[in-house]
């Protein structure tokens, strides 16, 4: 058996949707089609905005990349909802910063 070099990367739902679109819906296997259906329904932001906001949450607010990706995927609408994603307790973020994050997410959310 040959070993392949596989790189793991955390992607937001909008980024996954863009990636699957680039493959072309007609070229997707069954699992990829199910995934595409899911991300099409639940992607709530432009992929480029999602990437930029993940970077901002990591650099400016000290979130772990995994936390930032989950925040983008779920787009909490209140500070209390946001705190659920930051409950690991490693870092304390003040309430005003949390409000700013919620506002930032709201500004970039796509409405259907």
pLDDT digits (tens, 9 = 90+) for 73-97: 999 999 999 998 887 666 778 899 9
109 DSSP β-pair partners: 45
For residue 6, being part of any structural domain is answered with no
Q: The whole model's pTM is what? A: 0.85
Q: Note whether residue 90 is domain-resident.
A: yes
Is residue 5, in this structure, part of any structural domain at all?
A: no
Domain of residue 32, residue span: 13-42
The answer to whether residues 35 and 20 touch, using CB atoms and an 8 Å cutoff, is yes
Whether 17 is in a domain gets the answer yes
Asked if the structure places residue 92 within a domain, the reply is yes
**Number of separate domains in the chain:** 2
Task: Assign 3-state DSSP to the chain and report helix, strand, coil percentages, each to 5.
Answer: 65, 0, 35
- Residue 37 shares a structural domain with residue 52: no
77 and 94 share one domain:
yes
Per-residue confidence (pLDDT) for residue 93, from 0 to 100: 82
In this structure, are 62 and 93 located in the same domain? yes
Q: Is residue 37 located within the same domain as residue 60?
A: no
Please check whether residues 29 and 80 belong to one and the same domain.
Answer: no
Do 99 and 85 belong to one domain?
Answer: yes
Same domain, 30 and 56: no
Averaged pLDDT, 14-23: 96
Task: Look over the chain and give the mean of its residue pLDDT values, rounded to a whole number.
Answer: 90
Q: How many whole angstroms separate alpha carbon 56 and alpha carbon 108?
A: 13
72 contacts: CB under 8 Å, gap ≥ 6: 12, 13, 14, 45, 50, 53, 54, 105
Count of CB atoms situated within 10 Å of the CB of 34: 11
Question: Does 53 lie in the same domain as 38?
Answer: no
Q: Bridge partners of 45? A: 109
Cβ contacts of 64 within 8 Å, gap of 6 or more: 58, 88, 90
């Amino acid at each position: 058996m040959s070993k392949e070099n596989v790189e793991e990367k955390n992607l937001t739902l909008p980024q996954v949707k863009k990636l699957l679109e680039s493959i072309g819906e007609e070229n997707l296997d069954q699992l990829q089609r199910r995934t595409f259906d899911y991300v099409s329904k639940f992607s709530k932001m432009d992929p480029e905005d999602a990437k930029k906001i993940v970077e901002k949450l990591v650099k400016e607010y000290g979130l772990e990349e995994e936390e930032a990706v989950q925040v983008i995927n779920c787009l909490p609408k209140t500070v209390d909802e946001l705190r659920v994603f930051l409950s690991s307790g490693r870092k304390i973020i003040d309430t005003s910063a949390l409000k700013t994050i919620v506002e930032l997410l709201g500004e970039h959310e796509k409405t259907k």
